[in-house]
Structure 1
Amino acid sequence: MGSGGLRSGLPELVSKLIQIPSVNPPGFTVNVAGFIKDWLSTHGLSSSIYEYSKDKPNVIAKVGKGKPVLILNGHMDVVPPGDESRWTYPPFSGKIVEGRVFGRGSTDMKGGLAVIMVVFAELAPIIEEAGAGTLIFSATADEEVGGHTGVEALVKDGVLVGDAAIITEPSGSTRYYVGEKGLCQVRIVARGKPAHGSLPILGDNAIMRLMKAIERAQEVIDGFNKSISIPSELIDAIRNSAEAYLEAVGASGAKLSLSDFEKVVGTISFNPGVIRGGSKVNMVPDYAELELDMRIPPGVSPSQVIDKLRSGLNGLADVEVMDVSDPNYTSPSERIAQLVHEGIERVLKIVPKPIIVTGATDGRYLRARGIPTIVYGPGELALAHAYDEYVTIEDLFRVHDVLTYVIRRFFNLGG
């Protein structure tokens, strides 16, 4: 099949990938990995399997040799479909209707995975023949639960190392992500003294202490937010992100403004997610806890946030760390960022917008290794994890064409 045929077969390829469920949990990728390995083999490309957890293989294929090295990445696992009766078409049907491919994982991110399979197969012989450098294709496991046996392990192992990377998570064809907020999840623990509920003055109520601690924690974070200074090269990206989120929720009728979203993207968010305490209605509780989720913008570290909370809550409650990850970004002035920007501009005739997302991607592991990483792929962020998830055929083709341009330019191949 000629390369034009590969491009035109993209919707069917996405559909086939959706029809191989890879729901996480448990996140088994054996069947999808086998399909991808066979597909690559059919197109004359050999690949290797790296498995760091049983039944969660990663597929890696490399062409060319020497520098520069460009990594293409997509994950194979998808989130659960939820209540299947709420889907217009069954979640694993991969139904193609009116220019859209429907199904769980269509946007997040089997659409993006199909695009890099096709682009890799088309450009592999050209890169090989020109001796232009090395192109790495990677289909990885476990992104939906942190990427620990996928990209994180592959980076640690030295398998995924390069001069730049593109991850085809859903940005939509006219935007690209240069960075993401960090994660700071903590447990705030209040301890008291038990007593009978009829004589509360004899005890010290941990729930009451926790309520005070939550209020104080919010004051501490509000105060900290006033002092945050975002790296100047990201100011535009913060605004673009706010516009993107506003547009995504606009249809829902929520009464939110651009500055509301600028605040969400550019400051530490504060979400008390789980609360527990007490054992019996007629007992003064001696223990209460809150699980607090905070997302932190570039320019701030999780340790700074935790230190502020600990000093602010001193004597009232303890702060225990649950999970943290650093905010991270690739400078918009990096060559890979500029090439993606230029590709969208030249191929689609649209002025593209770099943005920062509030959630995490596997890009953080690559950036932590000093690899400039851009997220650019088909689909819309608002559709990931939703019922009736779909990707448009137009978006698949557009991202395919932009990436073809970007990769050819990266390796200084004409055309």
Structure 2
Amino acid sequence: MNAAKLCSDLIQIRSDNPPGDTSEIAEYILSVMEGLGIPGTITSGPDGHDNVISKDQAGRLLLTGHIDVVPALNEGWKYPPYSGKIDDTCVHGRGATDMKGGCAAVLSAVARAKDAGDDLPVSLAFVCDEEGGGRYGTRYLLEKNLIHPCDVLIAEPTPAYAPAVGQKGVCRFDVEFVGTPGHSSLYPILGESAVIQAMDFLYWMGELHKRVYPQTEEMEKLIEHSTKIAGEGTTTDFGPVFRQIMYNPGIISGGERVNIVAQKCTLMMDMRLPWGCDCDEILDEICSHIPKSAVLTPRTKANASLTASDSFLVQKTCEAISEVYGITSRPMVQWAASDARALRLAGFRALEYGPGDLSTMHGLNEKVSIDQLNKCEEIYYRLIQNYTNTKQEIS
């Protein structure tokens, strides 16, 4: 099976999220799986939010990836975003990196293992809605007990030499600030502005961001390595990204008229939490720094997660990368979130490793190199062999 051709085929099947309709691409992947002799099934969600999984979910290793992509406009692309153009070096199009390339490499590696006559120690899951938060994708499969805790490799794009074994936590919430309206000509002598309350809160958030969370010895090693990788080719110090709370007031809406002291102001916040920072504790602290009249509504809560670097999954993945690339591979941690968060919370040992040009992810002219697709296929194949050859309990 040709990974580049398969990647191109997947790109040409639209699966933008929104709206999140993955029914056509799920049917295509199911046909590929069944052509390999792997029985599968599709779980159908609302408005075409479909997942495809292997019927046998007893594998010691789960290989998974998401099949939805962020939308793309035609303007500004060298090749049309859904063309799946293959040239001498790359496959081009929306999802080439995030992450139809990874899904193609997984299927190609599984095809090799089947051709070798191996008894597959793996299960498969290709999910929808990762770009929309996973409600109908991985989270649905977990809620319905359709996948079961084991080692899991998510074929998300990563640096070529470093699998990702951890992600920062995420905390999203809304705050509605309530002021006392009045005539603008009398403010600030009379009236209390909800907009100013929000500004004061954001100043405090800037102070909270300065707090550095101490790490264990293992985490310090991972963070130092991850900081170097994140900063390659730049002069930016990425250390604070891993050790501190990052925050983004993504949407602020407030005020009624320019000549009225604002009675209402709503702020939507996205925070990324380092290891050692507890989401519930930080929300309690935040509540103590907003006015009593303000209402905070949590939207998403999850602490930072980690898969141990000395686990079988991480060790064998790093060994395969090292052998294929002729370097020494070491794991890293990430500053963003993915389905790995939900899987670890459910008892899976999760790792991310996959092909892609990270500089084009979610952007114009997204692409993946054919060489990297082939190398990832080889790495996945070697990992499958490791799980085939071991009968001992994996830890």
Which band: TM-score by shorter chain?
over 0.9
The answer on 1:180 being equivalent to 2:167 is yes
Report the CA distance shift for 1:322/1:279 in structure 2 as closer, same or farther (over 3 A): same
Any conservation in 1 of the 2:13–2:82 contact (CA below 8 Å)? yes
Aligned mates of 1:370, 1:137 — CA distance in 2: 17
Equivalent position SS for 1:344: helix
The answer on 1:278 being equivalent to 2:255 is yes
Aligned mates of 1:14, 1:72 — CA distance in 2: 16
Aligned mates of 2:70, 2:330 — CA distance in 1: 27
Report the CA distance shift for 1:71/1:116 in structure 2 as closer, same or farther (over 3 A): same
Matches of residues 3-402 of structure 1 in structure 2 within 5 Å?
A: 6=1, 9-62=2-55, 69-81=60-72, 83-124=73-114, 129=119, 134-200=121-187, 201-222=189-210, 225-226=211-212, 228-247=213-232, 250=234, 256-257=235-236, 260-315=237-292, 317-402=294-379
The CA RMSD over aligned residues, in Å, is 2.1
C-alpha displacement of 1:322: 2.8
Equivalent position SS for 1:85: coil
Write out per-residue CA displacement over residues 290-336 of structure 1, whole angstroms, 9 at most, x where no aligned residue. Answer: 22221011222211211111123355854332322222111111110
- Counterpart in 2 of 1:253? none
Write out per-residue CA displacement over residues 127-164 of structure 1, whole angstroms, 9 at most, x where no aligned residue. Answer: 764xxx74101111111001111111112222211420
Any conservation in 2 of the 1:62–1:134 contact (CA below 8 Å)? no
Matched residues, percent identical?
Answer: 32
Q: Tell me, which stretches of 5 or more residues in structure 2 are unaligned? A: none
- Of Structure 1 and Structure 2, the greater helix share is in 1
Equivalent position SS for 1:245: helix
Equivalent position SS for 2:185: coil
Any conservation in 2 of the 1:70–1:163 contact (CA below 8 Å)? yes
C-alpha displacement of 1:342: 1.0
Report the CA distance shift for 1:39/1:174 in structure 2 as closer, same or farther (over 3 A): same
Aligned mates of 1:370, 1:26 — CA distance in 2: 30
Which residue identity is paired with 1:160?
I
C-alpha displacement of 1:20: 0.5
Aligned mates of 1:216, 1:194 — CA distance in 2: 24
The count of corresponding residues between Structure 1 and Structure 2 is: 390
Aligned mates of 1:372, 1:73 — CA distance in 2: 13
C-alpha displacement of 1:126: 5.4
Which residue identity is paired with 2:20?
G
The answer on 1:406 being equivalent to 2:383 is yes
Equivalent position SS for 1:186: strand
Q: Tell me, which stretches of 5 or more residues in structure 1 are unaligned? A: 1-5, 251-255
C-alpha displacement of 1:229: 2.2
Aligned mates of 2:156, 2:114 — CA distance in 1: 22
Aligned mates of 1:208, 1:288 — CA distance in 2: 9
Any conservation in 1 of the 2:168–2:337 contact (CA below 8 Å)? yes
